[in-house]
Chain A
Amino acid sequence: MNSNSESVLAAELQDLAGVQPFAPDLDAITRRGRALRRRRIVLAGAGGSVAAVGVAAIVAVAALAAGPSGPAGVAAGTPSASVLRAQLMAALSKAKATAKLTVMSTFADKSGASSTSEIVTVPSQKWQELTSWDSAGIKTEVDFATELAGTGRYKGYTEQRTLTLDYPARTFSIERVYSPARDVIVPWVSDNQPESLKNTPWSKVVGTATLHGQPVYILVQTGSGGYSATVWVNKATLLPVKDVVHTFAGTTTDDYTWSSAAGADATAGANTPAIPYGFTRSDDGCQAVPVPKSRNIGVYC
């Protein structure tokens, strides 16, 4: 096809799409975005497409990751990448429903700026906490989200309540979102398949090592575009211990701690952050809103 036809096509597409007015609902977008941010937890920090680096880089990453014991190479009995990934997905699916998970995640962009967050999730207790620090190590924000049964006019609905502490501003706000559809707002249900574990053109178990005292497999996945991901998988539990993902935006490093969700410290009440002294409320308090019929409605009170 010649360039004239291509020009015609470009013009036709412009005509087809026209100039349709569109004003995004920014409040709804940011509300949804905050919920998504909490949901990104489980391995979503390792998200982004995974892509290509050379074999030398892979070996370097593996060696770096191996810790004190160093990579042991691929021994007999080491599962293939596809088998390990399937086992990891199965273990994740089971653990995410019951185990308490703490993810320490650091993102460093190409300019060297970084931010760190800790996300604690207890699915069985229906709560999640996210704490963020800036690159100077100053705490910037704490979000605590929990799920409750709606009461009063919201009886039969699900309520997601989020307490946000804004440390620089020394303010707090409480958001309540009611929905007739549970799965819309539950924050701790992560993606069915973490992006770092999606099928990629190339993946391999490059060896074994000991990391944080745990025997691990080292799974490396690559694709096109200059991205790479490495996941360290506990040999016994087949759960992730750590991952490092390089994307064009920067590098994310996640450390995972899995533990029992039982015990008093796992309950939502025990973990709700107290409002620090001197913090003032920044939202407007209760507002009368209709009972939602088919979509989320945020209520601040």
Chain B
Amino acid sequence: MRLRTRTWADEREVSFREFARQRAAPLHRSAYLLCGDWHLAEDLVQETLAKAYAQWHRVRNADSPQAYVRRILLNEARERWRRHEAPVPRTDAATDQPVPDWSDDIVRRAQLFDALLRLPARQRATIVLRYFDGLTERETATALGCGEGTVKSQTSRALAALRKYLDRQEAKA
């Protein structure tokens, strides 16, 4: 093996790879909640990171590289939904009758996931950003490219749709 001086291109490569290693798993989990399929989520993250690499100088110099990449992920997910790869609700889980034993939680969680996947794309993204990624309303608005008022209204509608699953859990608690 030949040693060589680290170059501008190497620095770019190293910094990107470090970023990708750190952020890939969290992005993967967010993507899963957005699309409902681990394999599709993997594709989404791969494409998202490729796009980040293509414009790495911008991403790296952004105020928040993580926010920048999260936005790429959302755009990528939106593009796919628009084309044809809409998330498929797990209707089997939704129609299954819950059984009153230890599996009750699993069934209820599956129903919640199903309900989440049935939400309109923007409401679903809002929920994932606010309650999974833990963003503030302002950060969510920036990520989605909309106003804070829109985030509030989208959140409200989404939570209303999910309410029955959450109420059940809350009552149990």
Q: What residues make up the interface of A, taking CB atoms closer than 8 Å to B?
A: 1, 4-6, 8-10, 12-18, 20-26, 28-30, 32-34, 36-37, 40, 49, 51, 107, 109-111, 113, 115, 134, 140-141, 166, 168-169, 171, 223-225, 247-250, 282
Contact = CB atoms under 8 A, between A and B. Distances in A.
Contact of B5 (A24, A169, A247): A169
24 contacts: A1-B156, A1-B159, A1-B166, A6-B131, A9-B159, A10-B134, A12-B109, A12-B166, A15-B109, A20-B28, A20-B38, A24-B46, A25-B46, A26-B20, A32-B53, A33-B53, A33-B54, A40-B54, A109-B57, A109-B61, A110-B61, A115-B57, A169-B10, A249-B68
A4 B170 contact: yes
Contacts of B163: 1, 5
Given A12-B169, A224-B147, A22 B112 contact: no
A109 B55 CA distance: 12
Nearest to B33: A17
B131 A111 contact: no
Given A20-B28, A37-B54, 10 more contacts: A1-B156, A4-B170, A12-B169, A13-B127, A15-B109, A24-B20, A24-B49, A29-B46, A223-B145, A250-B58
Contacts, number: 150
Nearest to B13: A30
B42 to A, nearest CB: 7
A5 to B, nearest CB: 5
A40 B55 contact: yes
Interface in B39-53: 42, 45-47, 49-53
B109 A140 contact: no
B145 A8 contact: no
A282 B167 CA distance: 61
A249 B9 contact: no
Given A26-B17, A32-B46, A13 B32 contact: no
A133 to B, nearest CB: 11
A115 B132 CA distance: 36
Nearest to B162: A9
B8 interface: yes
Contact of A248 (B51, B63, B113): B63
A242 B50 CA distance: 27
Nearest to A16: B113
- Considering residues A24, A25, A111, which has the most beta carbons from chain B within 10 angstroms of its beta carbon? A24
A13 B128 contact: yes
B4 interface: yes
Nearest to B46: A29
A166 to B, nearest CB: 5
B20 A168 contact: no
Contacts of A9: 127, 131, 159, 162, 166
B142 interface: yes
B16 A140 contact: no
A132 B6 CA distance: 18
A212 B101 CA distance: 75
B71 to A, nearest CB: 8
B112 A33 contact: no
B29 interface: yes
Contacts of B24: 22-24
A221 to B, nearest CB: 13
B7 interface: yes
B10 to A, nearest CB: 8
A13 B34 CA distance: 11
B150 to A, nearest CB: 9
A140 B8 CA distance: 7
B166 A8 contact: yes
Given A20-B28, A29-B46, A49-B145, A6 B159 contact: yes
Contacts of A249: 58-59, 61-63, 68
B161 to A, nearest CB: 11
Interface in B117-148: 127-128, 131-132, 134, 141-142, 145-147
B4 A29 contact: no
